[in-house]
């Protein structure tokens, strides 16, 4: 247990074990009462229901001394304070000992206890009632009346370090690993994040003594259906006033006495008596969610270390998990509703105003998902939105070794603090990076040109190819994507540009091919026909091929995984026509296929030029072109070449760190392992739905085809799944291919088996929802 947890009270449920006979003796000796006794539940104190001979009922509390001395004193003083403030408050009255003291002393087998005797409040626990809106309102009213009366009450024990005080939630976060269900763990982590954001703001809020434990067992209800008692001041703390209704709201939800939409009644009742300010309401949601998370974490801890104590929380923890999910989904709506009811306005706009974005970036600036996401932080395979919610990233390949990998971030930070200049000065880092990259390449790829993006790398490759061959034509796959510069946009017909006369396209191989497919003579003939037709098209327009550009994963074309034999034929014909082969590794490079470090190796290709981008800097903008030294040097001699930022020391540091992490964390093997598991689970899922088709690709670049008789229906279903995953499951994927009907799964490489399971479960749930028509 960490230091921050040591001394945290009530993590373990440990009431003193005092028997009924000892309690009866205590009542007699300390209070002069002959009573009959039955035990009452208690988390930290030992409580008895005691009935005297005259029929008068009491609660006898036995409090273990040691850690709780101050707390015992506080509990009796607060009752005295409340009685003085407002005698009509529905709280227990304190009865003095025969010596006129508030606390009695009891010694049993050398252990010392404090006792106090309280009036027994008639009424049933709220938990035994069917809740109604008026009753929930009354809960709010009573809590608020007690808070008003608590103003001005101070005691040293109000600073007690209680595990249940939601402000301690961050120190419980190490118990997240005890939570079995990944989805619950994620929600709890999200609640911790939200609280982390709210904590600094709590300091500026009104603070005072609060009861702090308005749960359904502590609230009593009369026969007339009104709240007639609030008991147990053992969790009293000095804290933000708004924490009081927050705890009561959370407790109503986790005891099954309210649904999220019913919380308003409690809040309204509270506000009738005790106003809250706008800043209070801004943090209310985070506090309610934090109390839920606290219950889940304490339960998880007790299941390991205090099974008896856990049992008392089983039901609440089981309800807390789905309730927390719902709360997190409703954050904005609830906060706005609560503000409206209180006549206040949120202090800060939680959402980015889309109108502003359109004004500043143009309304056509691409956004993912029907409900665009506002992502503020990334870590590993997770992205976090402005509300602190975690989204599983199954889409982004730029954070190749995981979002914000500390080794890459550290390398960038360290170098940026020392020097960031360009390659016209001598610097070792860029050489070291080039050496490491080239070590991974076949020997004929000997030198690098560093640029800043995949588009630039392809732009340079295109120039190199034209220069080397003296030709002006290009061959690409249908629907290829190679970048955005003026020159390479012609190699990217899918991006809206018309086909250029200089460019001819090849049809993709059959989707059923995989890398191990044995090609028969007809298949080879088909491959030859594809390339011959494309060459003929070029020739008819007066062009010979300078290069065949191939995204080795054929991602935008629809994700294909053809065997080397298919490309053998094509590459041979390209070379026969005097063209070069350019392997665009922007998607597949650095081990994404799981089987090889480079995609071209999986394809059995020996490229003349390799282009790199996206993943190589893990988010730092970088691109690279790799070719023979002869080609690069003759190009440099003829044209000169310099990219201001390409290969700068910070970029080279980022690139080096990425290569090191891939090696150190065996990420290529992980792509193979997780990719295989993901494929198998997707295939099993597809076998259950006739409109889920083939799984394409390999490693951690997979496509799942959505089929339908009409292409537009397949595309719509794919979009529905992508959007449902983002908004309901918080799992991020995309769709791909000429028909937009292929789910594109392309996560950061640390994606583990459990993440693959989450992803497939989410797709399965979305597919089932589509079939159910919801
Ligand atoms: N080539 C391929 C295969 C790509 O997928 C991309 C980007 N999607 C590019 C080139 C262009 O890279 P960038 O966006 O970094 O310019």
Residue-wise pLDDT tens digits, 555-600: 999 999 999 999 999 999 999 999 999 999 999 999 999 999 999 9
The answer as to whether 636 is a domain residue is no
Specify whether 130 is located in the same domain as 277.
Answer: yes
CATH of the domain at 553: 3.40.640.10
Ligand 1 pocket, residues with Cβ under 6 angstroms: 453-455, 458, 481-484, 551, 555, 584, 586-587, 613-614
Specify whether 467 is located in the same domain as 576.
Answer: yes
The answer as to whether 396 is a domain residue is no
The answer as to whether 623 is a domain residue is no
The closest-lying atom of ligand 1 relative to the alpha carbon of residue 455 is 16
Q: Which residues of the chain have pLDDT under 50?
A: 350-351
Which two three-digit tokens encode residue 394? 């199954």
- pLDDT at residue 497 in the model: 56
The domain boundary residue, chosen from 69, 96, 119: 119
Choose one of 400, 453, 476, 483 to mutate for the ligand 1 pocket test, by most ligand atoms within 8 angstroms of C-beta.
Answer: 483
Specify whether 470 is located in the same domain as 522.
Answer: yes
The closest-lying atom of ligand 1 relative to the alpha carbon of residue 551 is 3
Distances (CA, A) of 691 to 445, 557, 743: 44, 21, 13
Choose one of 481, 490, 583 to mutate for the ligand 1 pocket test, by most ligand atoms within 8 angstroms of C-beta.
Answer: 481
Query: Which residue range(s) make up the domain with 492?
Result: 454-580+589-609
Distance from the alpha carbon of residue 488 to the mean position of ligand 1, in angstroms: 10
Distance from the alpha carbon of residue 486 to the mean position of ligand 1, in angstroms: 14
Distance from the alpha carbon of residue 670 to the mean position of ligand 1, in angstroms: 24
d(CA 74, CA 5): 23
8 A C-beta contact, residue 162 and residue 237: yes
d(CA 615, CA 746): 12
The answer as to whether 233 is a domain residue is yes
CATH of the domain at 104: 3.30.200.20
Choose one of 462, 614, 615 to mutate for the ligand 1 pocket test, by most ligand atoms within 8 angstroms of C-beta.
Answer: 614
Residue-wise pLDDT tens digits, 732-750: 999 999 999 999 999 999 9
Distance from the alpha carbon of residue 394 to the mean position of ligand 1, in angstroms: 18
Instruction: Classify residue 346 as exposed, middle or buried by CB count within 10 Å of its CB (0-12, 13-18, 19+).
Output: middle
Residue-wise pLDDT tens digits, 53-78: 899 999 999 988 776 778 889 999 99
| Number of domains forming the structure of the chain | 4
Specify whether 108 is located in the same domain as 136.
Answer: no
Residue-wise pLDDT tens digits, 310-324: 999 999 999 999 999
CA contacts within 13 A on the Cβ side of 411: 23
Distances (CA, A) of 197 to 124, 167, 193, 379: 38, 12, 6, 17
The domain boundary residue, chosen from 101, 119, 137: 119
8 A C-beta contact, residue 744 and residue 554: no
Q: Which residue has the tokens 């490079």?
A: 589
Distance from the alpha carbon of residue 31 to the mean position of ligand 1, in angstroms: 83
Distance from the alpha carbon of residue 564 to the mean position of ligand 1, in angstroms: 23
Specify whether 35 is located in the same domain as 158.
Answer: no
Specify whether 677 is located in the same domain as 760.
Answer: yes
Q: Could you tell me the pTM of the whole model? A: 0.66
Specify whether 160 is located in the same domain as 183.
Answer: yes
The closest-lying atom of ligand 1 relative to the alpha carbon of residue 453 is 15
The answer as to whether 378 is a domain residue is no
Crossing angle (nearest 10°) for helices 182-202 and 278-305? 140
The closest-lying atom of ligand 1 relative to the alpha carbon of residue 483 is 11
Residue with CA nearest ligand 1 atom 1: 482
Please report which residue ranges of 90-216 form alpha helices under DSSP H. 133-150, 169-172, 182-202
- pLDDT at residue 353 in the model: 65
Q: Which residue has the tokens 């001041």?
A: 233
Q: Among 130, 156, 305, 122, which residue's Cα sits nearest to residue 228?
A: 122
The domain boundary residue, chosen from 64, 90, 119: 119
Specify whether 177 is located in the same domain as 318.
Answer: yes
Distance from the alpha carbon of residue 112 to the mean position of ligand 1, in angstroms: 73
CATH of the domain at 704: 3.90.1150.10
Distance from the alpha carbon of residue 599 to the mean position of ligand 1, in angstroms: 15
Residue 509 CB neighbours (<10 A): 23
Residue 603 CB neighbours (<10 A): 27
- pLDDT at residue 11 in the model: 81
DSSP state of 485: S
219, 224, 225, 227: CA torsion to nearest 10: -30
The answer as to whether 249 is a domain residue is yes
Distance from the alpha carbon of residue 127 to the mean position of ligand 1, in angstroms: 59
Distance from the alpha carbon of residue 558 to the mean position of ligand 1, in angstroms: 15
8 A C-beta contact, residue 254 and residue 316: yes
Distance from the alpha carbon of residue 492 to the mean position of ligand 1, in angstroms: 10
Residue-wise pLDDT tens digits, 121-176: 999 999 988 889 999 999 999 999 999 999 999 998 999 889 999 999 999 999 99
- pLDDT at residue 358 in the model: 81
Choose one of 482, 484, 557 to mutate for the ligand 1 pocket test, by most ligand atoms within 8 angstroms of C-beta.
Answer: 482
d(CA 180, CA 457): 46
The answer as to whether 740 is a domain residue is yes
| Chain centroid, CA 265 distance in Å | 31
- pLDDT at residue 498 in the model: 63
- pLDDT at residue 61 in the model: 93
The closest-lying atom of ligand 1 relative to the alpha carbon of residue 623 is 15
Choose one of 486, 557, 613 to mutate for the ligand 1 pocket test, by most ligand atoms within 8 angstroms of C-beta.
Answer: 613
Specify whether 136 is located in the same domain as 270.
Answer: yes
Distance from the alpha carbon of residue 623 to the mean position of ligand 1, in angstroms: 10
Distance from the alpha carbon of residue 307 to the mean position of ligand 1, in angstroms: 54
Distances (CA, A) of 619 to 106, 409, 676: 66, 10, 26
The closest-lying atom of ligand 1 relative to the alpha carbon of residue 614 is 15
Specify whether 70 is located in the same domain as 185.
Answer: no
Specify whether 532 is located in the same domain as 673.
Answer: no
- pLDDT at residue 13 in the model: 78
Contacts of 481 (CB under 8 A, 6+ apart): 492, 494, 495, 551, 555, 556
The answer as to whether 424 is a domain residue is no
β-partners of residue 390 are 384
**Number of helices (H), then strands (E), in the chain:** 23, 26
The closest-lying atom of ligand 1 relative to the alpha carbon of residue 621 is 15
Specify whether 62 is located in the same domain as 191.
Answer: no
């Amino acid at each position: 247990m960490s230091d921050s947890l040591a001394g945290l009270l009530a993590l373990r449920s440990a009431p003193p074990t005092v028997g009924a006979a000892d309690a009866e003796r205590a009542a007699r000796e300390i209070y002069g009462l002959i009573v009959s006794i039955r035990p009452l539940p208690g988390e930290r104190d030992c409580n008895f229901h005691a009935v005297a001979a005259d029929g008068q009922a009491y609660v006898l509390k036995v409090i273990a001394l040691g850690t709780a001395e101050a707390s015992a004193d506080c509990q009796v003083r607060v009752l005295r304070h409340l009685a003085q403030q407002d005698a009509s408050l529905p709280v227990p009255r304190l009865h003095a000992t025969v010596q006129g003291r508030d606390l009695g002393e009891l010694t049993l087998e050398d252990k010392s206890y404090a006792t106090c005797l309280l009036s027994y409040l008639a009424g049933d626990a709220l938990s035994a009632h069917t809740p109604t809106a008026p009753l929930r309102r009354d809960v709010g009213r009573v809590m608020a009346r007690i808070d008003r009366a608590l103003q001005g009450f101070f005691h040293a024990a109000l600073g007690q370090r209680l595990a249940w005080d939601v402000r301690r939630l961050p120190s419980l976060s190490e118990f997240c690993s005890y939570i079995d269900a990944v989805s619950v763990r994620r929600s709890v982590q999200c609640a911790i994040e939200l609280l982390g954001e709210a904590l600094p703001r709590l300091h500026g809020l009104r603070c005072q003594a609060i009861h702090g434990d308005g749960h359904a067992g502590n609230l009593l209800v009369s026969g007339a259906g009104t709240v007639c008692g609030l008991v147990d001041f053992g969790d009293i703390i000095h804290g933000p006033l708004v924490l009081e209704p927050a705890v009561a709201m959370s407790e109503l939800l986790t005891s099954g006495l309210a649904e999220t939409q019913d919380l308003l009644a409690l809040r309204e009742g509270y506000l009738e008596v005790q106003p809250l300010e706008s800043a209070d309401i801004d943090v209310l949601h985070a506090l309610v969610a934090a109390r839920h998370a606290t219950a889940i974490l304490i339960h998880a801890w007790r299941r390991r270390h205090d099974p008896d104590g856990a049992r008392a929380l089983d039901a609440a923890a089981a309800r807390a998990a789905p309730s927390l999910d719902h709360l997190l989904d409703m954050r904005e709506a609830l906060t706005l509703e609560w503000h409206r009811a209180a006549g206040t306005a949120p202090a800060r706009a939680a959402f980015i105003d889309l109108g502003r974005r359109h004004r500043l970036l143009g309304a056509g600036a691409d956004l993912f998902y029907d409900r665009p996401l506002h992502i503020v932080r990334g870590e590993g395979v997770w992205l976090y939105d402005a509300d602190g919610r975690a989204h599983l990233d199954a889409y982004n390949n730029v954070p190749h070794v995981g979002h914000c990998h500390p080794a890459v971030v550290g390398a960038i930070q360290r170098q940026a603090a020392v020097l960031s200049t360009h390659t016209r000065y001598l610097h070792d880092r860029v050489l070291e990076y080039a050496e490491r990259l080239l070590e991974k390449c076949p020997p004929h790829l000997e030198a690098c040109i560093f640029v800043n993006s995949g588009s630039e790398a392809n732009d340079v490759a295109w120039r190199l190819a034209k220069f080397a061959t003296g030709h002006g034509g290009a061959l690409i796959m249908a629907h290829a994507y190679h970048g955005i510069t003026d020159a390479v946009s012609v190699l990217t017909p899918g991006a809206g540009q018309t086909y250029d006369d200089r460019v001819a396209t090849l049809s993709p191989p059959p989707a059923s091919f995989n890398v191990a497919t044995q090609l028969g003579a007809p298949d080879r003939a088909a491959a030859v026909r594809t390339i011959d037709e494309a060459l003929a098209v070029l020739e008819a327009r007066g062009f010979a091929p300078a290069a065949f550009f191939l995204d080795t994963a054929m991602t935008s074309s629809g994700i294909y995984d053809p065997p080397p034999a298919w490309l053998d034929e094509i590459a041979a014909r390209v070379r026969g026509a005097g063209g070069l082969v350019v392997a665009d590794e922007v998607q597949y490079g650095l081990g994404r296929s799981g089987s090889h470090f480079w995609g071209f190796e999986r394809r059995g290709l020996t490229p003349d030029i390799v282009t790199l981008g996206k993943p190589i800097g893990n988010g730092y903008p970088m691109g690279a072109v790799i070719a023979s030294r002869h080609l690069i040097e003759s190009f440099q001699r003829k044209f000169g070449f310099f990219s201001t930022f390409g290969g700068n020391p910070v970029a080279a540091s980022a690139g080096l760190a990425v290569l090191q992490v891939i090696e150190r964390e065996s990420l290529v093997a992980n792509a193979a392992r997780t990719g295989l598991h993901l494929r198998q689970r997707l295939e099993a899922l597809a076998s259950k739905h006739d409109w889920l088709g083939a799984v394409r690709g390999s490693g951690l670049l997979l496509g799942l085809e959505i089929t339908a008789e009409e292409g537009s229906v397949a595309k719509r279903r794919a979009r529905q799944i992508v959007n449902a995953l983002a908004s309901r499951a918080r799992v991020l994927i995309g769709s791909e291919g000429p028909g937009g009907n292929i789910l594109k799964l392309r996560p950061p490489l640390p994606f583990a088996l459990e993440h693959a399971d989450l992803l497939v479960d989410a797709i399965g749930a979305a597919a089932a929802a589509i079939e159910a028509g919801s």
